Amino acid sequence: MNADPATSDAELIGRIATGDRLAMQVLFSRHHVRVYRFVLRIVGSETIAEDMIGEVFLDVWRQADRFEGRSAVSTWLLAIARFKALSAIRRRGDEALDDDAAAAIEDPSDDPEVAAQKKDKSAVLQKCLMSLSPEHREIIDLVYYHERSVEDVARIVGIPGNTVKTRMFYARKRLGELLKAAGVERGWP
């Protein structure tokens, strides 16, 4: 079988369920960057995010025959990635901080370069986004960076659609307050 670029993700999952490695490669090439960026925003570590990508797609390989098609394949991938990323954060919180890890923690004081970046609107926006609660940041990330619908976000996060809307409302409100406090009057489109 060849890997026609027009082959849908759902068709690829069906082929992966039968052990088609080429279909797995095509699915990986289509989605690994988006999944990596999503995981990176949750875990905050490139190394952990890279490890997670392998785990996510290994799960896809193992569970492809259980995919029921109730959501888009990309939604399913992000749900798997979210579960793995949150599990990694919980594990990391349980591990003791060794000397190497302690030495790798950056000094939070501002150097001249950081002070200059703070004047840049996008740097201020990123800092404000990181100040949001994990629940609000996750909703903003999925809706605005991954362009997911409220229904998709509800499936990925495992909450009702109305809760997604409520979190989005409060996240945007809080983000507006943070941006205004940082001197950015119009930071939200």
- Rounded Cα gap, residues 17 and 11, in angstroms: 10
What distance in Å separates the CA atoms of residue 20 and residue 14, rounded to the nearest whole number?
Answer: 9
Contact 88, 43 (CB under 8 A): yes
For residues 124 and 74, give the distance between their C-alpha atoms in angstroms, rounded to a whole number: 30
Contact call for residues 52 and 43 (beta carbons, < 8 A): yes
Q: What is the pTM of this model?
A: 0.60
Burial label for 182, CB within 10 Å (0-12, 13-18, 19+), is middle
87-to-25, 31, 82, 129 alpha-carbon distances in Å: 26, 21, 8, 22
Start-end of CATH 1.10.10.10 domains in the chain: 114-180
Give the pLDDT score at 95. 55
* Distance of alpha carbon 90 from alpha carbon 135, whole angstroms: 15
Say what the pLDDT of residue 60 is. 93
Helices (H), the chain: 9-17, 21-43, 46-63, 73-94, 99-104, 112-118, 121-131, 134-140, 150-157, 161-181
Say how far apart CA 129 and CA 141 lie, in whole Å: 9
Q: Would you state the pLDDT for residue 1?
A: 46
Q: Where in the chain is the domain with CATH 1.10.1740.10?
A: 7-105
CA distance 50 to 26: 18
**Which architecture, in CATH terms, is 114-180?**
Orthogonal Bundle (1.10)
Predicted pLDDT of residue 5:
63
CATH architecture of 7-105: Orthogonal Bundle (1.10)
Residue-level pLDDT, tens digit, the chain, 189 residues:
455 666 899 999 999 999 999 999 999 999 999 999 999 988 888 989 998 999 999 999 999 999 888 889 999 999 999 999 988 888 876 554 555 555 554 545 555 554 554 556 777 788 888 889 999 999 998 988 888 899 999 999 999 999 999 999 999 999 888 888 888 775 444
